[in-house]
Amino acid sequence: MGKSEKLLSKIEKTRKLLSNRIQVKGSLTDPEIVFISQQLDRLLNNHQKMIMYKKRLKSNHGLPKNQEIAV
C-alpha cells in the first residue's frame, strides 16, 4: 500500500470516527468532536497537497515547478 492509499485509509477511518462521535455526543462544539474534525482537516489538506504535487510533477516532466531543465 502506497502513501496515497494509506492516507486515504486514514481519512476514511477518521471520517467514520467523527461521524460516530457526533452521533454519540450530539454536539458539534464538543472538544472531542472539534479535535477529531481538526485531525480530519489536516489529513485532507495533506491529501490535497499530495495531489497538487503529483500534478505539478506530471506537468513539468518530473521536476518541481521552481526548477528548470538545464540545456
The upper half-sphere exposure of residue 28, i.e. CA atoms within 13 Å in the direction of its Cβ, equals 0
pLDDT number for residue 20 = 98
| Domain boundaries, position 41 | 29-60
Phi-psi region of 44 (alpha: psi -120 to 50; beta: other; left: phi over 0): alpha
- CA-nearest of 20, 21, 10 to 44 is 10
Helix (H, G, I), strand (E, B) or coil at 44: helix
67 domain residue, yes or no: no
pLDDT band at 71 (very low <50, low <70, confident <90, very high): very low
36 domain residue, yes or no: yes
Whether 69 has a pLDDT exceeding 50, the answer reads no
Whether 39 has a pLDDT exceeding 50, the answer reads yes
Number of domains, the chain: 1
46 domain residue, yes or no: yes
56 domain residue, yes or no: yes
pTM of the prediction? 0.77
